[in-house]
Amino acid sequence: MSGHLASIVYSPDPGSYNRLPLSEAMLRAGYGIEGDRKGGNPRRNLNIMDQEMANALAAEGYPGGAGVLGENLILAGVDLSGQPEGARLRIGAEAVIEVVSLRKPCYKLTALDARMPAAAVGRVGVMARVVEGGLICVGDAVTAI
């Protein structure tokens, strides 16, 4: 399995849902994206979706675009639904993330589409923790390790 990092998004402002796209970011072990207001939570250093599922949701009329569904990273060519808890992925040359659990969609998604979060269960990616930090860039290779 190999793919690439399609997008990076983070929320710099406390109490805000505003998400800003980045072309590169520093991942910090045990934290997530440096400067992300949601970083540091051991259950969810990162919210990650795969591009294929994001495309499928968009085809069904759900809102789309980098960060719209609350994800930090979108991976292309990586089937996250097939990754078991504990699976590790390398992003770029240094960073390693570990799948913690399926992501449970948040009630805040209802503001985007009345069908959510119920219709998004099992379809909004995974929660991951950063095992090894490092610089990541859009376009970086993603490989299973």
- Paired with 90 in beta bridges are 96, 143
pLDDT at 120: 64
* Number of compact structural domains in the chain: 1
| Residues sharing a CB contact under 8 Å with residue 22, sequence separation 6 or more, in sequence order | 8, 9, 10, 33, 138
For residues 132 and 28, what is the distance between their CA atoms, to the nearest angstrom? Answer: 7
Full-model pTM:
0.87
More confident residue, 38 or 141: 141
Residue 120 lies in a domain: yes
CATH label of the domain that carries residue 93: 2.40.33.20
Task: Answer yes or no: is pLDDT of 13 > 80.
Answer: no
Cα distances (angstroms) measured from residue 125 to each of 13, 40, 99: 23, 19, 10
Measured between alpha carbons, how far is 103 from 90 in angstroms, rounded to an integer? 20
> How high is the pLDDT of residue 106?
64
Report residue 145 as tokens: 């390790």
In a domain, 39, yes or no: yes
Rounded Cα distance, 117 and 98, in Å? 24
Q: Is residue 16 part of a domain?
A: no
pLDDT of residue 130: 97
Indicate whether 14 belongs to any domain: no
Task: Please say if the pLDDT value at position 128 is more than 90.
Answer: yes
Q: How far is CA 89 from the centre of its chain?
A: 12
DSSP 61: T
Q: Does any domain span residue 83?
A: yes
Mean pLDDT of the chain: 86
pLDDT of residue 115: 63
What is the sign of the dihedral through the CA atoms of 116, 120, 125 and 129?
positive
Q: Are strands 73-76 and 46-50 parallel, antiparallel or unpaired?
A: parallel
User: Per-residue pLDDT averaged across 129-135, rounded?
Assistant: 97
**81-116 tens-digit pLDDT:** 889 999 999 999 999 999 998 877 565 666 665 566
- pLDDT number for residue 24: 98
Which pLDDT does position 19 carry in this prediction?
Answer: 83
C-alpha distances out from residue 134 to 18, 30, 48, 145, Å: 24, 12, 17, 16
* Domain range for 134: 2-8+21-144
123 located within any domain = yes
Assign 118 a pLDDT band (cuts: 50, 70, 90): low
Is the pLDDT reported for residue 142 higher than 70? yes
